Amino acid sequence: MAELVDALDSKSSAFGHVGSSPTAPTAVMGTYNRFPLTLTKGKGCFVWDNNGQKYLDAVAGIASCSLGHSNHALKRVLTRQLNELQHVSNLYRIPAQEKLALWLAEHSCANSVFFCNSGAEANEAAIKLARKHGHINRGIERPIILSANCSFHGRTLAAISATGQPRYHNGFEPLVEGFKFFPYNDIIAFEHLLNDLEKDGPRVSAVIIEPIQGEGGVNPGSLPFFQILRTLCNKHQILLILDEVQIGMGRSGHWWGYQELQIEPDAFTLAKGLGGGHAIGALLVKENADLFEPGDHASTFGGNPFACQAGLTVALEIERHAVLNNVQERGKQLREGLNKLVKMFPSKLKEVRGWGLLQGLVLQEKANFTASDFANAAIDKQLLVTSAGQDVVRLVPPLIIKPREIKELLKRLNNTLDHFT
């Protein structure tokens, strides 16, 4: 063991402290265009870099740090869990997993839960579930799953195959077969596609769709579209699966995005905000979609005690501190402020769209900068934001953000817009 520590120390010395500066050598694979920033500490809605500079964080680990950074309850509960038991696998019953599953079932339309480690894994489970439903309940030999254009469902091969954005497909062909796409919120186009596919008998097993598209540009679902979609899925015995990886767990101001649309899905997926910054994903199903049997699907780390204690703590803290009310109030405050910015900068900004604390600031086509340009410029104004495509600046701060912090966020957005002449 001592030799291993010495070897690691030697390697660290050779490379310097990895991430200590934007130009430091690293052995990390280059799968990200990273911002030139090394974050070392966080508290609430703020983070600090390795030079001591403080930033207002409107990224929150890409909508993951629901309770902000260094939350006291999470630190207390997770420290206790690490002192007791970290991982045992799903060969045995896990009390924290059963408690979290029960909480999720009691607070949603679902009856049971499968736990995994990420949103992509949750959607992979949903895709397998959809195919099994097609085979067993609709008698389809090669089931088709319908998905929306501009959607995003993850980075695994099946998940990108279900993603309606060709840029995520390039270089990874052949994709997983069995997916067809329709324009988001376009019920006429959806019906035409469905009728064409089903004219000679059952072919479609499920629809997988986001209640509000995140990566695809912060596009909220249309209530009429989703209500008719629900009716059509019922009529054809097609599973309606909602990808709530980004909006679920309170980010809309409700527990679940489907509540905004006044429908209930047959199944939905979660990740990001569920763990408050810790790795956990979940597939939640109603009784009619509870099709998996032992051996159908599994995850070594899924639902481990540590991750489930994180999820349960996030859930209870949101309840205890009325965080959903805060999301609704701060979401309204943020949206009003963003609309004022659109009026102040009409040549740069087009509109605002989103729900709660998932808001998109849409750039004008004639703007002389992209959303990525804006995110980089915002760093100089001590603000962290991210993009959702080329022309949408995405704002997903922690759900516990305060009124004065929203004001400061809007001020720093204003200062960033002033940067572009």
Residue 49 shares a structural domain with residue 166: no
pLDDT in tens, the chain (421 residues): 444 444 444 443 333 333 445 566 789 999 999 999 999 999 999 999 999 999 999 999 999 999 999 999 999 999 999 999 999 999 999 999 999 999 999 999 999 999 999 999 999 999 999 999 999 999 999 999 999 999 999 999 999 999 999 999 999 999 999 999 999 999 999 999 999 999 999 999 999 999 999 999 999 999 999 999 999 999 999 999 999 999 999 999 999 999 999 999 999 999 999 999 999 999 999 999 999 999 999 999 999 999 999 999 999 999 999 999 999 999 999 999 999 999 999 999 999 999 999 999 999 999 999 999 999 999 999 999 999 999 999 999 999 999 999 999 999 999 999 999 7
Beta partners for residue 46, in sequence order: 43, 56
326 and 316: one domain? no
Q: Alpha helix locations (H) across 285-354?
A: 305-320, 323-344
Helix 323-344 and helix 403-419: axis angle, to 10°?
30
Do 380 and 413 sit in the same domain of this protein? yes
Residues 166 and 150: their CA atoms lie apart, in Å, by 9
Residue 78 lies in a domain: no
pTM assigned to the model: 0.94
Q: Is residue 80 part of a domain?
A: no
Residue whose C-alpha is closest to residue 168's, from 184, 179, 181, 157: 157
| 307 and 353 fall within a common domain | no
CA angle 285, 288, 294 (to 5 degrees): 70
**CA neighbor of 245 nearest in space, from 104, 118, 68:** 118
Within a domain: 2: no
Q: Using the 3D structure, point to which of 320, 349, 381 is the last residue of a domain.
A: 320
Q: Is residue 4 part of a domain?
A: no
Both tokens assigned to 302: 């899924």
- Give the pair of three-digit tokens for residue 97: 């997993």
Q: Is residue 3 part of a domain?
A: no
**Same domain membership, residue 255 and residue 136:** yes
**Tokens in use for 61?**
């680990």
Q: Can you spell out the DSSP letters for 29-88?
A: ---S---S--EEEEEBTEEEETT--EEEESSHHHHT-TT-BS-HHHHHHHHHHHHH----
Is residue 406, in this structure, part of any structural domain at all? yes
- Here the CATH number for the domain that contains residue 312 is 3.40.640.10
86 CB-contact burial (10 Å; exposed 0-12 / middle 13-18 / buried 19+): exposed
303 and 343, same structural domain?
no
Helical (H) or strand (E) element with 243: strand 239-243
Find out whether the peptide bond into 174 is cis, omega within 30 degrees of 0.
Answer: yes
Q: Has residue 5 been placed in a domain? A: no
Identify the domain boundary among 320, 350, 375. Answer: 320
Domain extent at residue 406: 12-71+322-419
Q: Last residue of a domain, which of 267, 296, 320? A: 320
Look up the CATH number of the domain holding residue 368.
Answer: 3.90.1150.10
Is 201 found in the same domain as 162?
yes
Residue 229 shares a structural domain with residue 240: yes
CB 279, CB 121: distance < 8 Å? no
Residues 263 and 298 reside in one and the same domain = yes
Residues 44 and 97 in one domain: no
18 and 148 housed in the same domain: no
